[in-house]
Amino acid sequence: MGEIRWKIGDEIFDLDSRGWIMGVLNVTPDSFSDGGRFFNAEKAIEHGRKMIAEGASIIDVGGESTRPGAEAVGAAEEKRRVLPVIEELARQSRALISIDTSKAEVAEAALKAGAKIVNDIRGGRGDDAMWAVAAKRRAGIILMHMQGTPRTMQLAPRYDDVVSEVADFFRQQYDRAIESGIDGMTLAFDPGIGFGKTLEHNLSLLRRLERLRVAGRPVVVGVSRKAFLGKISGANGSAEQRLFPTVGFTSILRVAGANVLRVHDVHPNLEALRVADALRGAT
């Protein structure tokens, strides 16, 4: 088994020799990437099944938009949106289901419904009860870095040294997780590309992924369809027109050390990931 391992429940997965694709499933009316196309539970379940069939290792279900300027959603509404989708996908498939939330109440309900991973964009800072929920359920947990909140994060992000500051945050949250009773093997970290970062910040972080790795934990990266890709590629139309830059980055970032790539388009990104894995494994 490789050096990068991730414990989720009772299983330990090797994320060194083979990278994973995490499929994004937004059950929201205002997602930047799909404009609410999967807000209906039946359509969301159908799309989740499609991504699983295409080879996604994780389906990341979210009920609250985190686009720049997004308004907050209450826990009750978030649960109403995501729980039927999680229950049905968990019943139908062995793929891992992740809940994209920063609320412990939503995370606990989702884990009971069949999710195995909590994807917390606030990195454990949004709800102190999240630590106890994750520890009790032995869930995998992704801690993401974000400067500010979704409403404010892109107004004027500033860092003295973005790579050092994000790496320091990961180390602090790793220590806090251990102190809270979390098994360190269940942790993974996401630099939060586009979450309180300029174009230059994003590129600096992506260039130096290995400097962000803490205690041999997996690195999760999501650049799929994001606006900064349009700035550097010229694909300045709709989010869906940023597919080719996304696929290119999937290959580059896997070679650079990313273990999980969070994407909207599973099939083409999985093909790119397989090419990158072959290159990484070549002697």
Report, as residue numbers or ranges, the catalytic residues. Answer: 226, 262
DSSP strand pairing (11-14 vs 5-8): antiparallel
How distant, in Å, are the alpha carbons of 61, 86, 213, 279 from that of 219? 19, 24, 7, 19
251's CB contacts (< 8 A; 6+ apart) are 272, 273, 275, 276
Report the alpha-carbon distance of residue 196 to residue 108 in Å, rounded: 27
User: What is the helix, strand, coil percentage profile of the chain, to 5?
Assistant: 45, 15, 40
| Length of the chain as a residue count | 283
Query: How many Cβ atoms from other residues are within 10 Å of residue 86's Cβ?
Result: 28
How distant, in Å, are the alpha carbons of 43, 155, 218, 238, 241 from that of 212? 37, 24, 10, 31, 30
Residue pair 3/216 in contact (Cβ under 8 Å)? The answer is: yes
- Token pair 């499609």: residue: 50
Beta bridge partners of 177: none
* Assigned token pair, 39: 């807000």
